[in-house]
Chains A and B, each alone.
Chain A
């Protein structure tokens, strides 16, 4: 980059593009507005410019302060006002107006400030003035709670499950049992059981893992909404005065206050105040199974399901955490290995080295979904002397996923799951060049032995596999070359198939899904999937159930 180009890029936008600033002024004046650069606010070093705009409204002139960012016009300007008659879509702390629901996505660099105000300001004002039924057509249906406008900038979060927030009206203060979790330089405080001043629990439910520590903190009800006059110090003084025996001088007090908790819906919200010489506050974030499920509504049925996952290596760990993310209710993890530092390139992280793999994966699952019920079976299935009760666990589950990459185990599982428990077998190939996912009972009626016979005949496709020798370390068991992100393609599809299967849908996915990430000679290709049903092989001597497909589907 030449020096002149770099200098031009560092110059403020109104100098590099003077025509744009001229166009902005002309458009504002054409719209009947007044515009004036605020003295001392056009800083060439920061690239920020501020202007005062008098915007014509019916019967008045609305005073606006507009701040253009240094990257203008690629990003939109911020428009603020001190006009307190505007209550919705107006940040009470900063004064910013929400002219665009998603400013960066909805802003176009060809838009002038005057265009933005002409198009959006009347809508914003109307949403403030019209009855709800009319205003609802003009705005996004999002709650504008206090949390929307107040941020602490600190790595501390207060979590509240909205399903646990109903309290008896006569209970105005007491104790709350919070869960604490802070694996890094952050801290999460989760509101659990809530008790009155006598210590009797009146609502709520404690958070399980990963919240490893719990503590009782005092809480107090504030029978009003927050106002712009409220500050952490003021609320802290109020709490200390109201609860002199409960609130420690440098402790934490939780406040329950009125707020908009849903679109134009009033309710109770929480905030925590850190005391001490300079009190600060953290407004609660709603979080819990229902909150998460609302973001992935297709998968709410997983909350009632129990999956047994055998093998928690690269495929299994990815499958487990994806299932936890998607809201699975209960998971049995089966693996007899421990995490080795040598394999963290495709499994759980270094911090889990030495743990049983099931425990390492369980921690990751809890982190993705507090509340998931996890059972660990730390056993190598099929090895002499390994105690487990899988043959009894499997019939009580809804689905089994075999990610152990062990043909002997796959055959045993397929037989053990027959005839009533669904089974998904996921396996990659050497080098993670591809892999396959097989689902039983099959649509085509074939069994695991039919699969092997069809593969032997090549009547089912073979995924590509690297011919490279194994990557070994010392004289221990050889491992394989292959990246986590390649196997993750396979793992995530296994989760898709499992989630579909748990709805009772046996028609969407074919019996055998084969993934190719390479050509047979090793050239990389975009992930390519083939789908085949698994019919009964004529040479198979095992018993077979009827096809899951209806005659119409078979046709």
Chain B
């Protein structure tokens, strides 16, 4: 009986980092959307050094945001697929699939129209789909915690 309790405690503790990341504020998505828009739209500007600088700034911005969130919550959940609870692993696959499809769509828009419009599509897409995904992830983590 004591060991059953121990196993439950292990499961509960292993969910703690995911619970913490689920409480990240939703405003990060519009912010990433704005950064993505600026990065894409910059490809319409000459000389080439400007969009390259914007790309570097975009990467630095994302890195700073991840660093800020990690410091804020005090933990960074592992991205090791095998260590993740199965329902959250599925959520990660959905995130990757959405990101791949979204990136492909934005590249297609950029090739058929222009980078400013593609940036707009990317920015709005990240802000809305990101926030939607985040709520979905929050619900899944909540369900897992409730199951224990």
Q: Do A and B bind each other?
A: no
Which residues of B does A touch, CB under 8 Å?
A: none
